[in-house]
Structure 1
Amino acid sequence: MADARTAAGLNATLNERVLDRTIRHLVHVERFKAGFSRRTLAFLDDELLPDLLGQIEGRLARINTGAAVTPYTNQRLAELFRSISGRTAERMSEARSMVVGELLELAKAEADWLPAMVAQESPVSLSMVGPSTRQLQVIVRSKPFRGAILRDHWKGLERSVQQGIQQAVQLGIAQGQDPRAIARRIRGTPTQPGVWPAKRNQVEALVRTASAHVQSQTREVLYAENPRIVSKVQFVATLDTRTTVTCASLDGRTFEADLGPRPPLHWNCRSSTVPVIASFRDLGIDLDEAPPGTRASMNGQVASTVTYQEWLKAQPAEVQNEMLGATRAKAFRAGTPITSFVATDYSPLTIGQLRELERI
């Protein structure tokens, strides 16, 4: 694993090496989020949208939308809207089950990764107590983020989809549009923003933010279960150039393990935290420095904050290639700043691929 640990050098402190490994891990997690959101959106694109558009075009074709509204028209529209609500609820429920399943896998992977990484980097044997399956279930299903638990966020999203489509149908009828034009109003075109693309953006934001929440809360359980090893918690917001002002202002700050702000601080937040590992003395080990032949000292000092560009510059070529792709990495080594290409390039990863990259 030496390729992933070179930013601070072989004589770095343990906390510097933990930060180094965490930054690379955060990029891997962002790639997982990209794949996760694409899989969720693909399900809705394939299973929900065609169903809704088919119903709308088929049922509206049997209603004279250009004529005056009659009780018969209202009855048929009410039936259409009930059908839209029912199908939306059904497919969104299926999608939520998929999302919960992937979030549980993410929680398990995070619960495995952090203790394994600390053990790999520590010059002495450190064994962290991990969360139980029940604790991970609670994180995914019952811990609130951004003001609500996942189920309630998802129900709100479901209502938003239903309302957006119904409003599009009503506006289309009011403007005398035919069923196909109303379907285009929902689907969207290259020149006309549609209802569905806006709802897709909401789904993606929720999936990504829920992932950040699960990652953060899994770490919180690990910190709480290992108070002797984790002396403090450091906020990390060095992932890329799109970091918000709020997160950037917290980057590198340390807090007591049970205090301070925790990600996600906003929708699509990519910040995280790292544990500040206690010194030899704090752990009851009668040593001032790392024993001969070990890789990292354990002085308990907090790792210095580092920007993503600084971190990536210190990595070997194979890590730069992995983060950016071979062509961009070559340009980066030649002096092209990270702002030119890092903000949007996170190729998707599955949980299995994430585990393989992190060797957990």
Structure 2
Amino acid sequence: MVTVNEQMQSASIGHAVDLQHLSNAEVRKIIRLLNAVDAELRTKLLEAIDRLGPDSYTARRLNTVLASVYELNSSVYASIGEVMAESVVDIGRYEVEYQGSLFTRVIPGQVLVQVQLNTVNLEQVREIALSRPFQGRLLKEWMGDLEESRAARIRDAIRIGMVEGQTTDQIVRGIMGTRAQAYADGIIERSRRDVETMVRTAISHTAQGVRESYYKANDDIVAEVRWLSTLDNKTSAPCRLRDRLVYTNDTRHAPVGHKVPWLSGPGKLHFNCRSTSTPIIASYEALRLSKGLSEGTRASMDGQVPQSMNYGEWLGRQSAARQDEILGPERGKLLRQDKLKLDDFYNDKGKFLTLEELKERLVGGVRG
């Protein structure tokens, strides 16, 4: 019989995959907002540099003629900040719904009539998403830093170009990039990468923060928490070290059976952290629920930590339809035919799921 904790672990791995796809969709949406002003930015840069002129260049005059560029830059990051604030709160609310559905589906009904499940309210979600710092700053503060960094890169590129005697077109191409290189060779490409990192980190921070709050709200039934890391060639050394380790379900997150500290926790340990967690549900004996439980319920509620299972093993156990959804039909077929290993073709940026698509899954029940 598959135990409750084995079901929890499998579901947590699958949910982490879906959240990565959701992050991909959010990144694409935010980058689209940033790119939407490129044409206007190019025009304003051309006008500003022409006004500046090589003979009248000074640092003070540069800031004056770049006023409209700074204003546009500030405006687009303000828009991104508003969209991101709304998105992370929505994602936090979805995470609450997901955990509630998961616990309700996996934990036997005979147990749930005796143990009440608690939830996390909207105010708690908003506090986690908007009022808790990740990597040292709040979401609002990160947006301000990203805005200032892009403005500084633009200003510095113009300064260097003027000193080196570059033409207006050369300076602007250096900033914006060239069509031949899909504009990836411009100095503002770094800004796109920084925004992507911020989006992914904000989402993982919020989802894990809500997850932990849900576990703690139900600490009478969640005995411990297990760290789960995505294991591939992109996995950081700190996350590899912590994969499958168990910690207490409290504010201390003390190590259980090892000495590796929790630190910020999965999803929050570093930028772009893809690690997640899974709850370890207490045994029926620990919950003092032995009376009136069927033999099958007692067997499923053994409280044991499931055997280790990495992502590749989990994927191999999924249905063909689920494998195709994650990898794409062709790669899914290759996986099932043992023609290629997972690391040979898996790219976690290859599939995009929107938040609405994820919410629709709750209608039919949470999957592992």
Deviation at 1:57, TM superposition (A): 0.5
Q: Secondary structure at the match of 1:62?
A: helix
- CA distance in 2 between counterparts of 1:287 and 1:302 reads 23
Matched, 1:23 2:13: yes
Alignment of 1:1-360 (within 5 A): 11-47=1-37, 49-65=38-54, 68-69=55-56, 76-124=61-109, 125-126=111-112, 127-189=116-178, 190=180, 193-238=185-230, 240-258=232-250, 259=253, 260-261=262-263, 262-263=265-266, 264-286=268-290, 291-292=295-296, 297-335=300-338, 336-359=340-363
Amino acid at match of 2:146: L
1:236 and 1:358 mapped to 2: Cα distance?
23
Residue deviations 1:16-60 (CA, integer Å, cap 9, x gap): 11111111111111110000011001001003x333221110222
Q: Give me the whole-angstrom Cα distance separating, in 2, the residues matched to 1:119 and 1:343.
A: 32
Q: Tell me the SS of whatever aligns to 2:51.
A: coil
Unaligned runs of 5+ in 1: 1-10
Name the aligned partner's letter for residue 312 of structure 2.
Q
* Distance apart, 1:84 and its partner CA: 2.5
Pair 209,21 (structure 1): closer, same or farther in 2 beyond 3 Å = same
- Corresponding pairs, count: 344
Normalising by structure 2, what TM-score? 0.88
Q: Give 5+ residue unaligned stretches, structure 2.
A: 254-261
Deviations 1:277-329 (A, max 9, x none): 1111222211698544x697011111222111111111121111111111000
Structure 1 counterpart SS, 2:66: helix
- Looking at structure 2, the residues matched to 304 and 78 of structure 1 have their Cα atoms a distance apart, in angstroms, of 61
Cα 1:102–1:188, aligned 2, differ >3 Å: closer, same or farther?
Answer: same
Instruction: Normalising by structure 1, report the TM-score.
Output: 0.90
Deviations 1:83-141 (A, max 9, x none): 32222222211110100101011000001101211211122343521111110110111
Judge conservation of contact 1:157–1:203 (CA < 8 Å) in 2.
Answer: yes
Q: Are the equivalent residues in 2 in contact too, given 1:113–1:358 (CA < 8 A)?
A: yes
Q: How far does residue 240 in structure 1 lie from its aligned partner after superposition?
A: 4.2
Aligned match of 2:259: none
